[in-house]
Amino acid sequence: MRVADHLPPRPADGHKGTFGTVGIVGGCNERGPSVCDPPGSSGTMMIGAPALAARAALRCGCGRVIIGAARSILAPILTCCHSATGWPLTMDEEPLSDGSVVPRVLELDRQVQTLAVGPGFGIKRTVSGGIVRELLSRPGAPLVLDADALHGMAQAQPSGRLRDVVLTPHPGEFRVLAEAYSTGDAGVDDESRRAAAIELAAATEAVVVLKGHGTVVATRDGAWTCPTGGVELAVPGSGDVLTGVLASVLAQQVARGDLDVVGAARLAVTLHANAGAVWREAHGDRGMLAEELADALPAASR
């Protein structure tokens, strides 16, 4: 796939609104254990994940990114990505809860061409499950669910879809979803990964992007495996960059009126792998930072 031939065109008279707005809901201000912490952990505070996703979305060419996060951590997140704008999920320093978060997420959802939920969210499964359930129960922009939102989906198991949905699990998150939806788990060989991803896509009525060596993009009708992507991508935040790339491509498609969700997923995975290759050619296969991966996206798109 020659990426440049598949990216949405950029007309000479284009402006921010021409290229779509991405919403990213994530970040965690909880000091107690989150759904992504190991048993016995004292908890974490995560601000990098939504900032990396926003940086990648902008590097991929969308017109605007709005980050939704708890007010207490929104300023630090925006310090990591100056070009994004902020959307407080709480109006004061109160902890995130269904009652405070869901209305704000739904309001943000109405303003964007694609909404990505989950990077670094680290909130209780009941809260993330409530967000996912509400979003999937109403029509709207394409929805990308990653990281902690996948745990929320496994907890909520919403039925019926009124919008396009892409799930982006790594193998551990895939196992959680496969158990929740009673589908087959993905093995280590290509064939079992493809078969399991197709089964989960059918059960969830979503496009499934199963990350890892040879990332798989699956629907109920079949699967495609990315032929590229090296070990340099095995760094913290690499998945957040992929989420931002995918959300950006989708938003640009929606803004142009030519949405192709499966094509966008394949394009995003390829562009993500190409960005790693750009960095590898200059530096080798170790030591890449996720922000460097995001910054390699313009060159990778060529």
Q: What is the pLDDT of residue 72?
A: 87
Q: What is the CATH number of the domain that holds 131?
A: 3.40.1190.20
What pLDDT score does 11 carry? 87
- Beta partners for 216? 210, 225
Largest interatomic CA distance in the chain: 55
- b vs e for 6-42, b when ≥16 Cβ sit within 10 Å of the residue's Cβ? bbbeeeeeeeeeebbbbbbbbbbbbeebbbbeeeeee
- Per-residue pLDDT tens for 123-180? 666 678 889 999 999 999 999 999 999 999 998 888 777 899 999 999 999 999 999 9
Q: What percent of the chain has pLDDT over 70?
A: 90
CA gap 92, 109 in Å, rounded: 21
Report the pLDDT value the prediction gives residue 125, as an integer from 0 to 100: 61
Report yes or no on 220 lying in a domain. yes
pLDDT band at 98 (very low <50, low <70, confident <90, very high): low
Host domain of residue 234: 18-300
Is 32 a residue whose pLDDT tops 90?
Answer: no
- CA separation, residue 283 to residues 286, 287, 288 (Å): 8, 8, 8
**Mean per-residue pLDDT, 85-107:** 80
pLDDT in tens, 44-78: 678 999 999 999 999 999 999 999 998 989 999 99
pLDDT of residue 129: 85
| Rounded CA separation 269/7 (Å) | 13
More confident residue, 137 or 90: 137
Greater model confidence, 35 or 184: 184
User: Are 27 and 73 spatial neighbours (Cβ–Cβ below 8 Å)?
Assistant: yes
* Domain contains 130: yes
Domain presence at residue 11: no
- Residue 93 pLDDT > 70: no
Q: What's the mean pLDDT when you consider all of the chain?
A: 90
Tell which residue, 175, 172, 118, 182, has the closest CA to residue 145: 118
1 falls within a domain = no
157 is a domain residue: yes
- Per-residue model confidence as pLDDT tens digits over 109-124: 999 999 999 999 876 6
For residue 95, the model assigns a pLDDT of 57
Query: Residues with Cβ < 8 Å from 69, sequence gap 6 or more?
Result: 25, 26, 27, 29, 47, 50, 77, 86, 87, 88, 89
Q: Of 115, 124, 176, whose CA–CA distance to 150 is shortest?
A: 176
Phi, psi of 69 (to 5 degrees): -155, 165
9 occurs within a structural domain = no
Asked whether residue 243 is domain-assigned, the answer is yes
What's the average model confidence in pLDDT over 192-220?
Answer: 97
pLDDT, average across residues 275-284: 97
The rounded Cα 230 to chain-centroid distance in angstroms is: 20
By three-state DSSP, how is residue 68 classified? strand
Report pLDDT for 123.
Answer: 67
Domain for residue 3, yes or no?
A: no
Number of domains in the chain: 1
- How many angstroms separate the CA atoms of 224 and 210, rounded? 10
Does the pLDDT value for residue 35 go beyond 50? Answer: no
Angle between helices 48-59 and 71-80 (to 10 degrees): 50
Mapping DSSP to helix (H, G, I), strand (E, B) and coil, where does residue 25 land?
strand
pLDDT at 113: 98
